Structure 1
Amino acid sequence: MKATANELAALPTASAANDALNPYKEALREHFPTREALLQEAKQQTKRQRLLKKVGAGMALSLTLAMSWVIDPVWHSEDMRTLVGQQASYTLKDGSHVALNTNSVLVVEQHLYSRRLHLKQGEALFTVDHGWRPLTVYANQTQIRDIGTIFNVRNTAQGAVVTVVEGSVEVRTTHAQRILTRDISVTTQAGMISESRCTSANIAWQQGRLVFDGTPLADVVLELQRYHRGKIKIADARVAQYRLSGEYDINAIDALIDTLPEIMPLRVARQSDDTIVIRHH
């Protein structure tokens, strides 16, 4: 059925229809971005993602470095030991030198940011090659931090004896802290630090000597025992109080023991198991 001329005239023209839709188009544009706007937003989002990746990578690196400082992992470790009566010298990977006295055990740990040496038993003289990584020696609840020095550390049953030969060190315990300089010696015990006489006897072992200066025989025997495989016993309390002075060869302990009856009123008996018994004459 064909439309009449009047009906055709009543239909809106394309132009009129567009004009009528314009307000709706404008409203839609406000809610839906154009193609150009979408492309621009995509570029901005890509930039933000790249920036976030860079920031994230930087934060991850910073966190890794921070954690490594806190954890300070070990990258190299080695044990150094001497037998009873034996002495030995070592050069560490950082150029520092260690001389171990008789019956000593030293664990050397090279950490990423520090150097840590654990004197498990015995005695050692440390000559430190200085670098950006600090060096610390640990001995029986005593911490000795090198500041620039040569120093001797002896691990004892009660704590440690620290003697500075050159430079200075910082000594720490659970309850005390002290800076030591040249020719100062301290003894640590029960978390405390007490100064003791700094004599040549403290490092005489480096020259192969034992030095006694009015030392009670009980203490002399304790020192001799460090270099002697067999047991040395004092069977009489009176003998323990006798005193000994002089310098003796560190490699002639048996000769020294055999000489004692010539300078003190005592007897020395040797048993089949290499035990030596000292008693009053």
Structure 2
Amino acid sequence: MKAPGMKVMAHELASTANASAQDALSPYKEALREHFPTREALLQEAKQQTKRQRVLKKVGSGMAMSLALALSWVIDPVWHSENMRTKVGQQASFTLTDGSHVALNTNSALVVEQHLYSRRLYLKQGEALFTAEHGWRPFTVYANQTQIRDIGTIFNVRNTDQGAVVTVVEGSVEVRTPQARRILTRDVSVTTQAGGITESRCSSANIAWQQGRLMFDGHALASVVDELQRYRHGRIQIADRLAAQYRLSGEFDISGIDTLLDTLPDIMPVSITKKDDGTVLISHR
């Protein structure tokens, strides 16, 4: 039978040996801690990483939104488009989705595009009177290499073979071509041709079509015929150079083109010949 004192001594010896072993392993434990973080350190690192990811996600979302907004300004997508047209001799008025008004003259074609940040109207042919509704989106009309930007106004645009004729009724517009730029105010008209802009006094004849009238002030008959042809299906031809040089003044009804042709022999030395296909031939007599 072992004495109690022996057990105590044995326990103390074991504790001493265990302590000595722990002391011997201590350097290795410290080295391991340097290479393998503790549980508390791992948890702290995980929290920091989650926080960084949240910040990066928020920054990334903000940058994506900013980039999308910047691209939308550059691209300026179309959200609504309309095509408007009149036949020869027809006139029509339209109200656009933004509240602006457009009146189309004879044989005209207009494409209206409502963009996210702008309003763009393309006068493919013919003539139109624009009454732009004020708004933060620019209102711009394009006609044969001519750009007309509204600055709060009513203005008339005619698409011609050489360019365009722009007449300001109220307010002002900015007219641009590839080579020139001009600000127009009320009662001013310009003609664009070959990239240039030629200014002239506004003539009431430019917008007389709005009242269903045609006005001529000493115009050569050749010029008068060009204007009448816009409102008539059948051809109007001048047979000789002398007849083309005669001049005409007066105010006439747009709906009475044939009546005007019939009265030409009464006001100038010409004769009228009508053919079966609707053609009218004007000759010197």
Q: TM-score, normalization: structure 2? A: 0.93
Deviation at 1:122, TM superposition (A): 0.4
Report the AA paired with residue 188 of structure 1.
T
- Give the secondary-structure state (helix, strand or coil) at the position aligned to 1:252: helix
Question: Which residue of structure 2 aligns with residue 133 of structure 1?
Answer: 137
Q: Could you tell me which residue of structure 2 aligns to residue 47 of structure 1?
A: 51
Q: Does 1:60 align with 2:74?
A: no
Gaps (5+ residues) in structure 2?
1-12
Q: What is the distance in 2 between the residues matched to 1:210 and 1:265?
A: 21
Distance 1:20 1:120 in 2: 96
Question: Where in structure 2 are the equivalents of 1:166-181 lying within 5 Å?
Answer: 166-181=170-185
Question: What is residue 271 of structure 1 aligned with on the other side?
Answer: 275
Shift of 1:28: 1.8
Query: Aligned runs of 1:174-213 on 2, under 5 Å?
Result: 174-213=178-217
Deviations 1:137-179 (A, max 9, x none): 0001100000100000000000000000000001011001111
Q: How does 1:68-107 map to 2 (within 5 A)?
A: 68-107=72-111
Instruction: Tell me the secondary structure at the aligned position of residue 206 of structure 1.
Output: helix
* TM-align CA RMSD: 1.1
The count of aligned residue pairs is 271
Aligned counterparts of 1:234 and 1:55: Cα–Cα separation in 2 = 74
**Aligned residue in 2 for 1:122:** 126
- Alpha-carbon shift at residue 34 of structure 1 (Å): 1.0
How far did 1:37 drift? 0.8
2:229 equivalent to 1:229:
no
Matched, 1:152 2:156: yes
Residue 280, structure 1, aligned to residue 284, structure 2? yes
Report the 3-state secondary structure (helix = DSSP H, G, I; strand = E; otherwise coil) of the residue aligned with 1:279: strand
Is the partner of 2:151 in helix, strand or coil? strand
What residue ranges of structure 1 are gaps of 5+ in the alignment? 1-8
C-alpha distance in structure 1 between counterparts of 2:236 and 2:75, whole Å: 45
SS at match of 1:130: coil
**1:196 Cα shift?**
2.3
* Greater helix share, structure number: 2
Shift in Å at residue 94 of structure 1? 0.4
Per-residue deviation, 1:132: 1.1
Q: Is the 8 A contact 2:205 2:214 kept in 1?
A: yes
What is the percent sequence identity of the aligned residues? Answer: 78
SS at match of 1:251: helix
Letter in 1 for 2:32: L
Counterparts of 1:234 and 1:70 in 2: how far apart (Å)? 51
Could you tell me which residue of structure 1 aligns to residue 42 of structure 2? 38
User: Partner of 2:60: helix, strand, or coil?
Assistant: helix
The equivalent position to 2:261 in structure 1, one of 251, 257, 261, is: 257
CA distance in 2, matches of 1:258, 1:48: 88
**CA offset at residue 55 of structure 1?**
1.1
The alpha-carbon deviation at position 20 of structure 1 amounts to 1.2
